[in-house]
Amino acid sequence: MAAIINVCVDPRLNHEVIRAQVRARLERLRLPAQLVYITSDVGGNLGVSFRSTAELVLKNQDRVEFAAVFHHDDCVAFRATSAARAPGTFPPPS
Ligand SMILES: [Zn+2]
């Protein structure tokens, strides 16, 4: 059972800390994930790495139990370019 978490490329984000936090949270939800994949793209947008990772998990006959996209405030990517977060990509407009 795998989890895929997509985050921003912001260098302040520590992937190992995020991985441990996600694993702990999923265990509390009784969704223990053996593999927690962290993917990243500018602004936390879904990109090639997320899609490729999902394909890899499925090719390995594993199941994606949990997927999440984290956006954050005070984003380095946002400050660098106004186009950092592609509008309407995630979450979909309500
Ligand atoms: Zn960011």
DSSP 10-30: -TT--HHHHHHHHHHHHHHTT
The residue assigned the tokens 């995630």 is 90
How many other C-beta atoms are found inside a 10 Å radius of the C-beta of residue 11?
7
pLDDT at 19: 94
Residue 67 neighbours by CB distance under 10 Å: 17
Residue 72 Cα to ligand 1 middle (Å): 6
pLDDT for res 14? 93
What integer pLDDT is reported at residue 75 of this predicted model?
Answer: 79
The residue among 28 and 87 whose pLDDT is bigger is: 28
Residue 92, pLDDT > 50, answer no
From 75, 83, 60, select the one nearest 7 (Cα to Cα).
75
Q: Which residues contact 50 (CB under 8 A, 6 or more apart)?
A: 4, 6, 39, 41, 69
Q: How far is the CA of 61 from the centre of ligand 1 (A)?
A: 32
For the chain, what are the domain ranges? 2-80
Q: What is the DSSP letter of 89?
A: S
Mean pLDDT of 73-93: 58
Instruction: Indicate if the pLDDT at residue 73 is higher than 80.
Output: no
How confident is the model at residue 72, as a pLDDT? 72
Distance 60 CA to ligand 1 centre (A): 30
pLDDT band at 42 (very low <50, low <70, confident <90, very high): confident
Q: How far is the CA of 43 from the centre of ligand 1 (A)?
A: 4
78: CA distance to ligand 1 center in Å?
Answer: 6
